[in-house]
């Protein structure tokens, strides 16, 4: 596959295609599309050093939402797309019993 300038719309296309493959039980194809989505949507480099905050001991674990569509009224959201693709790719690995990679 040829690379080049990635975009969140390209990432969104791959994410949606991955969702279709996942729904059809085609785990390997879904994993490939989620990986392509991540490559098309590189992580932003923070301009400030990360803050050193620790969550409260009784805080619930973060929920992971698996999105099927392109809905949402928010703007860009490359971090959101990346988070979804990472979670979905991990689900593919679990479905293929590739536990170490999940």
Neighbours of 76 (CB within 10 A): 10
Q: Is pLDDT at 98 greater than 60 in this prediction?
A: yes
Average pLDDT over residues 10-38: 96
pLDDT, greater one: 3 or 86: 86
Q: What confidence category does residue 100 fall into, taking pLDDT thresholds of 50, 70 and 90?
A: confident
The CA-based angle 30-38-97, given to 5 degrees, is: 40
Alpha carbon of residue 7 to chain centroid: 14
Q: What pLDDT shows up at residue 65?
A: 46
Supply the pLDDT for residue 27.
Answer: 94
Contact 8, 77 (CB under 8 A): yes
Residue 29: pLDDT over 70: yes
Task: Give 85's contacts (C-beta < 8 A, 6+ positions apart).
Answer: 11, 14, 15, 18, 34, 35, 37, 38, 41
pTM: 0.62
Band of residue 44 on the pLDDT scale cut at 50, 70, 90? confident
């Amino acid at each position: 596959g040829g690379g080049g300038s990635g975009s969140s719309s390209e990432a969104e296309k791959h994410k949606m295609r991955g969702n279709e493959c996942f729904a059809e039980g085609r785990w390997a194809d879904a994993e490939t599309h989620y990986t392509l989505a991540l490559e098309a949507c590189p992580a932003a480099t923070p301009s400030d050093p990360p803050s050193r905050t620790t969550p409260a001991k009784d805080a619930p674990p973060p929920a992971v939402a698996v999105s099927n569509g392109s809905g949402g009224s928010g703007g860009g959201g490359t971090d959101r797309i990346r988070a979804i693709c990472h979670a979905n790719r991990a689900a593919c690995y679990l479905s293929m019993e590739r536990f170490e990679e999940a």
